[in-house]
Every structure is written in C-alpha cells, then in structure tokens.
Structure 1
Amino acid sequence: MPSVGGFRNPAAEERYFAAYDRAMADCPEPDAVFDVETRHGSTRVYRYGTGGAPIVLLPGLMATSACYAALIPALADRHPVYAIDTLGEAGRSVQKVPFKDLRDRVVALDDVLANLALTSVHLVGGSTGGWHAVNQAIHAPGRLASLGLLDATTVSAPFSRKVMWWGAFAAVLDSDRLWRGFLKWSAGADIMDDAAPGLVLAGIRSYRARVPFQVPPDDAALRSIKVPVLALFGGRSVVHDSAAAAARLESLLPRADVEVLPGAGHYLYLRPEDRDLIIDRVLRAAA
C-alpha cells in the first residue's frame, strides 16, 4: 500500500525545524503565508512582493523555499513571488494522501495554483524543482506562462552515476565528513555549514519521503511543451552532463532559451555573478 512521507521521530522533527527556522531567517519577511489545502495535503507557500505576473519558485529535493533566499528580494521587487515547500518532502507542507504516480504530484501543484487563483504563472524550478516544472508544463500547462529551469535534473539527461553512488554512500554511512565532501564536490565550495544546504541535509536525515521515483520525460513529452522555456545549466555541474542536457533540450525545444554557465556548478546561483545573471534572465522571461 502507498504511504505518505513523515519524520522519523519527534526528536528528528524538532531538530529539523530548528534548521528550517535558521534557513528561513535568511529570506525576507514574507508578505503572506499560506497553508493551501489540496487533494493530497496542505502545501506551505510564502508570498513576497506584489504587482506584475506571478513567479512561482519550486525548490530542489528537500531544499524548501529557503533555497531561494538569495533570489527572492530582486525578483519580488518586480513581481509577486510565491515560494513553495514541495508536498511530500521535508518542510512545512504536510502530506495526507499518498501519491500513486507522477500525475498525482502534478495535480497537487495544480491545486495550489488554483486555490491561490494564480494564472499566467512563470514557473521556476531548480534541480528537482525543474523536473516538477517540466512535468507541470507537460500534464497541466493551463495556468503557466513560461518555465525557468535552473540546472534541472532528469529532464534532458540522467543523473550521473558518480553522483548517485556518492550520494547513496553518504546517505548510508551518514557521516558529516562524507556529506561535507559530497557537498564540496557537487557545489565547488564548502557550503555544509551554510543554512540552506544544512537544511537539505537535515531533511535527508530526518524525513522519510514516499514519492514516485524521478523519471525523465520522453522525447514526445518534451516536444509537447508549448510555453516559452528558459533553461540554464551549470557548466561544472556534477549531477549530470550539462552540455549533453543542454544540447538535447535545444534539439527537442528549438525555441527554448538554453545556456550553459561555464563557471557554475549544480548550485547554480552560488556565485554572485551567476546569481545576477539568473535574476536578470528570469525577470526578462517574466516581463
């Protein structure tokens, strides 16, 4: 029987939310906080700013809204920004009904957009959030105006074997030394003590997710995407072959705006110069 995700125990949950509050403290004070009821549970959404077309931010796996702390102020200065804690993962969203398949996850996000009365949405997703954004554009595009993909994983290239083996090894042994090495290798910098990466690690350690496996869409599904697509990849990303991912996406979506940022890793907006470029490109796409 399918089940829902949850924290391993009350102590783990308490530790996790202490890390969550530290990470969220790096974000601006939200203008509104919503717990949006959907068919699969309650989804936490933070709104920043007003005016203009809405930008909706989907985080990477276990990353929560906190991962966008560095981008939110500039985006919210021009648009209302809705940052989502992905349902089914660690965060303030609470899953109540199991996901049977990928379509259920699409339905859950569509419920959020519908209940917030959002249309003409510029949907931006980083890492696994980019995969969610692509699936939304394939299966429920009616509320979308554009996609922004920030080193999106398993969209146009599979995970690299090395990242899968190293991530699995670190998860099984669960030592700070291994996780620090993994994050330094994948980010290109020692970021484990930063609040947002620390929150991802706290989620991995504290929360048991019960979600359908992340499967790449096929060529026909990708070709079916009709909304404009901005896709930025990290040239130094280790989670996949970013050059191959960019080339395949361009071949399937020839009108997409696809670029590889040569000095960026998978944490695409870690460096200030890449962060400024991403903000500019997302704002232009949403204009």
Structure 2
Amino acid sequence: MTGISDFKTPAGRTRYFEAYDRAMRDCPEPDAALDVDSRHGTTRVYRYGQGDAPPIVLLPGLMNTSASFGPLIPALAAHRQVYAVDTLGEAGRSVQTAPFQDIPDRARCLEDVLAQLELRDVHLLGGSTGGWHAFNQAIHAPDRIASISALDPTTVTAKFSGSTQWYSVLTMVLNQDWVWRRFMRWSAGADIADRPDVRLVLAGIRNYRPRVPFQVCPSDDEIRSIRVPVLTMFGARSVVHDSAVAASRLRALLPQADVEVLPEAGHYLFLRPDDRARIVDRVLTFVQRQDQAAR
C-alpha cells in the first residue's frame, strides 16, 4: 500500500500529545524511553524493571499505546524486564517514515526493533489487536521470540462481530462524545470513557490518520505453522467478537496452545482486579516455564 501514517493537522497533534502526557502520568515511571530506528520509521519503546531473564514485550491494542498496560506493568516488571511498544503506524510517539507494503511488513518492523535493542528469546504479550500482532510475529518473523501471550486477541480465529462493525461506522460518522461513551460502555461492560488511557485512544482516532495494512484473520495453515509456545486468554463476555468460537477454533488449529476463557471478563480483559491478578499469574508462570524448558 502507499501513504505514511501521520496526524491530520498540527493542532490535532498538539491535542493528542496533551492527552498522551496525561495518560502516561498514570503509568509507572519508565527506566528508559527509547526511540528505535527501523526500516519503516522510529518506534518508541519504554523499558521497565531489571534482571537477566528474557524480557516481556508489550504490544497494545488498535490505536492504543504503552499507557494501556499501566495496570499490568508494576507486577510484571517486578519479575523481569518489560518493554512497552507504541505500535508504529498508529497513534503514539512512534513516527512512520516509509510505507508498509503488506501484513508481513508489520512483523518485519517489530523484528527490526527487537534487533536494534539486541533482544532475543523475548516473550510477546499483546492485548486485542496487540494479540493479533503477536500471532502475526509468530507467523512471519518468529526468530527472536520465545513465546506469545494474547489477551482477547481480535481477528485471529474470529472476525469482529457485526455489532462492532456497526458501532464503528456509527461512531466515525457521528463522532460525538456521547456516542463514543456508549460504545466504550458497551464494549467494556463499564463506563470507562473518562479514563486517561481511554481518552487517549479517542484522541488518536480523531486526530491521527493511520496508513497500515488492515488486520485480517490469518489462514488456518498460517496458524497451524506456529511453532512457539502460545498462551491465549479470552473474555467470556467480550462483545467485539464471539470469544467462545475464537477459543474453540484456536484449540482446534493449535492443540498445543494453552487457551483459557475468563468467565467474568469482557474485551478489556484486565479491567477487573481479580482478572488482572489471574492474567499476571498466568503470564509469569507461562513465560517462566518456557525459560526453564529452553535451558
């Protein structure tokens, strides 16, 4: 495809980064903020924590940023280094300078970032579209990854629901706060529209023009080709897709995957404290098991 993602207007860029700074104030202070060069631009990465164990790399959802992982970072970084990525080509502090040609290009971009950081045997952890990116990496550029964990990943083994597609059109056409609040309440199962990280997503949607290949479900053969260990957790109450179908298809296509459905969780999988604690425990146990198996 052609075109490079960027802000629609200078004023919109200013509004967006005001929202970005507010959201980041709710996150732990990073040990380092890194701007990493790749063939497609510069990717902003935040580093947290210490230790020699293979790190966890966080991949946020669509038009989201590192700020979305604020509730998880302290518990994860207490055990090993964590790198949080602002996805190149979407709103955030990453800056795209060359167009993406296809979906595998997005995996090559992250491969470049991991190479520049000299990271190997990393454990990817992605939420929503970030989960799709984790699977995309495992399919197209798996050499530097030891495992992937995905939290209610979208468009991996199930398409977006019809209601999600309808809401997406409605919100983009009307673009009013009340519509976005209603959408957020519907998708999250709670009124979260005033949270700084959620306001940041809305600021990105309104002020940023992405030019990236749209995410589509990998083929069955592509999913079957994955050789790295996989942990996937779905929200039973997720409305953005049919999570029961998504979990069932993943178990069928990738029998070796560890697949769990959280009975009370929606698409925002770590919104509830109990689910958040469960996710942290499952992810840390899973990645430690992979580290031990690799020795």
Shorter-chain TM-score above 0.5: yes
What is the CA distance between 1:61 and its match in structure 2? 0.5
Instruction: Give the total of aligned pairs.
Output: 287
Quote the Cα distance in structure 2 between the aligned partners of 1:171 and 1:19.
Answer: 20
Aligned to 2:13: 13
TM-score by length of 1: 0.99
What amino acid maps onto 2:276 in structure 1? R
Structure 1 residue identity aligned to 2:6: G
Unaligned runs of at least 5 residues, structure 2? 289-295
Is residue 114 of structure 2 the alignment partner of residue 152 of structure 1?
Answer: no
Q: What is the deviation of 1:113?
A: 0.4
| Counterpart-to-counterpart distance in 2, 1:265 and 1:19 | 25
Deviation at 1:15, TM superposition (A): 0.6
Task: Tell me what 2:3 maps to.
Answer: 3
Alpha-carbon distance in structure 1 between the residues aligned to 2:83 and 2:283: 14
- How many Å separate the matches in 2 of 1:87 and 1:262? 33
Q: Give the counterpart letter for 2:252 in structure 1.
A: S
Within 5 Å, give how 1:101-180 maps onto structure 2.
101-180=102-181
In 1, distance between residues paired with 2:280 and 2:188? 19
The equivalent residue for 2:25 is 25
Aligned equivalents of 1:78 and 1:213: distance in 2? 35
Q: Counterpart of 1:191 in 2: which secondary structure?
A: coil
Q: Matched residue of 1:103: which SS?
A: helix
* Aligned CA-pair RMSD: 0.7
C-alpha displacement of 1:161: 0.9
Q: Give the TM-score normalised by the residue count of structure 2.
A: 0.96
AA aligned opposite 1:44: R
Q: Shift in Å at residue 215 of structure 1?
A: 1.0
Q: Which residue of 2 aligns with 1:265?
A: 266
Aligned twin of 2:46? 46
Cα distance between partner residues in 2 of 1:240 and 1:125:
17
- Which 4+ runs in 1 deviate beyond 3 A? none
Taking only the aligned residue pairs, the percentage that are identical comes to 64
Report the AA paired with residue 150 of structure 2.
Answer: L
- CA distance in structure 2 between the partners assigned to 1:79 and 1:286 by the alignment: 10
Partner-residue secondary structure (3-state), 2:143: helix
Unaligned runs of 5+ in 1: none
1:50, distance to aligned residue in structure 2 (A): 1.3
- CA drift at 1:172: 1.4
Q: Alpha-carbon deviation of 1:62?
A: 0.9
Tell me the alpha carbon deviations over residues 47-98 of structure 1, each in whole angstroms, 9 at most, x when there is no partner: 0001121000000011100000000000000010000000000000000000
CA deviation vs aligned residue, 1:204-241 (integer Å, no higher than 9, x gap)? 00100000011110111000111111000011101100
Alignment correspondent of 1:193: 194
- Greater shift in the superposed pair: 167-176 or 270-279: 167-176
CA distance, structure 2, for counterparts of residue 9 and residue 169 of structure 1: 23
Mapped to 2, the partners of 1:161 and 1:180 lie a distance apart of 19
- Secondary structure of the corresponding residue to residue 67 of structure 2: helix
